[in-house]
Structure 1
Amino acid sequence: MSKLSEKIKNNSLEILSSLNNNKKTFLVVVILALVFMFTLCWITFFATVRGPEQVMVPNVEGKELTTALLELQAKELYPKIQLKYTDNPDDAGKILNQNPEGGSIVKAGRRVNLTVSRGVILDHVENYIGQNYDDVKINLQTMFTGSSRPLIVLAEPSYKSDQSEAGTILAQDPPEGTIISNPVTVKLIVSKGAEYENTRVPAIVGFDFQKLISTISSSRLVFDFTAHIAENGENEGTVTSQETASGEYVPNYSRISAEIALPKKQSDDEVMGLFTAQLPEYPYAVEMTLESSKNGVKQTLITLRHKGGNVTIPYIAEKDSELILSIAGRSVARQTVD
Structure 2
Amino acid sequence: MILVIISGLIAFSLVLQGAEQTVVPDVRGKELADALVVLQERELYPKLQLRFSTDPSLKGKVIDQRPSAGTVVKAGKRITLMVSKGSVVDKVEDFRGKKLEEVRAHLQSLFASQKPLLRIKEPVTYVFHPSPPGTVLEQKPEPGTELTGLTDLVLVVSRGPTVEKKKAPDLIGRSFQEALNLLVEEQLPFVFQLQGKTPGKKPGSIVEQTPKAGEEFEPGTPLLLTMIELTEIPKDFRFGMFDYTLPLYPVAVDLKVEAVSPGGEHTVLFSLKHPGGRIAFPYLQPENTTLVLSVFDREVIRHPVRGQGN
Please report the TM-score for the alignment, with normalisation by the length of structure 2: 0.57
Check the 8 A contact 1:291/1:298 in 2, yes or no. Answer: no
Which secondary structure does the structure 1 equivalent of 2:276 belong to?
strand
Matching residue within 217, 222, 233 for 1:250: 217
Superposition deviation, residue 230 in structure 1:
7.1
Matching residue within 306, 310, 323 for 2:292: 323
- Output the CA distance in 1 between the equivalents of 2:66 and 2:150: 31
1:287 to 2:261 alignment: no
Check the 8 A contact 1:287/1:303 in 2, yes or no. Answer: no
Q: Deviations over 1:211-234 (max 9, x none)?
A: 725633652x43222135777732
Matching residue within 73, 93, 100 for 1:126: 93
Q: Sort the Cα spacing of 1:156 and 1:298 in 2 relative to 1 into closer, same or farther, 3 A.
A: same
Q: What is the correspondence of 1:253-332 to structure 2 with a 5 Å cutoff?
A: 253-260=220-227, 261-262=229-230, 264-265=232-233, 268=236, 273-282=240-249, 284-292=250-258, 301-313=269-281, 319-321=288-290, 323-326=292-295
Counting aligned pairs with the same residue, the percent is 26
Superposition deviation, residue 287 in structure 1:
0.1
Higher helix share: 1
- Output the CA distance in 1 between the equivalents of 2:278 and 2:102: 23
Check the 8 A contact 1:159/1:191 in 2, yes or no. Answer: yes
Which secondary structure does the structure 2 equivalent of 1:257 belong to?
strand
Q: Sort the Cα spacing of 1:305 and 1:138 in 2 relative to 1 into closer, same or farther, 3 A.
A: farther
Which secondary structure does the structure 1 equivalent of 2:180 belong to?
helix
Which secondary structure does the structure 2 equivalent of 1:192 belong to?
strand
Q: Which runs of 5 or more structure 2 residues have no equivalent in the other structure?
A: 1-25, 36-48, 72-81, 306-310
Which secondary structure does the structure 2 equivalent of 1:242 belong to?
strand
Matching residue within 187, 200, 215 for 2:183: 215
Check the 8 A contact 1:290/1:300 in 2, yes or no. Answer: yes
RMSD: 5.4
How many residues are treated as equivalent by the alignment?
265
Check the 8 A contact 2:292/2:302 in 1, yes or no. Answer: yes
Q: Sort the Cα spacing of 1:319 and 1:131 in 2 relative to 1 into closer, same or farther, 3 A.
A: farther
Matching residue within 166, 169, 178 for 2:136: 169
Bigger Rg over Cα: 1
- Counterpart position of 2:166: 199
Q: Deviations over 1:51-110 (max 9, x none)?
A: xxxxxxxx999899xx9xxxxxxxxxxxxx9x8874x24667999889999999xxxxxx
Which secondary structure does the structure 1 equivalent of 2:203 belong to?
coil
Query: What amino acid maps onto 1:247 in structure 2?
Result: G
Q: Sort the Cα spacing of 1:132 and 1:148 in 2 relative to 1 into closer, same or farther, 3 A.
A: same
Q: Deviations over 1:153-178 (max 9, x none)?
A: 32533333334444433222233344
Check the 8 A contact 1:223/1:256 in 2, yes or no. Answer: yes
Please report the TM-score for the alignment, with normalisation by the length of structure 1: 0.53
- Output the CA distance in 2 between the equivalents of 1:101 and 1:317: 70
Q: Deviations over 1:171-217 (max 9, x none)?
A: 222333444333332222233344462112223433526x7256336
Q: Sort the Cα spacing of 1:319 and 1:147 in 2 relative to 1 into closer, same or farther, 3 A.
A: farther
Q: Sort the Cα spacing of 1:180 and 1:258 in 2 relative to 1 into closer, same or farther, 3 A.
A: same
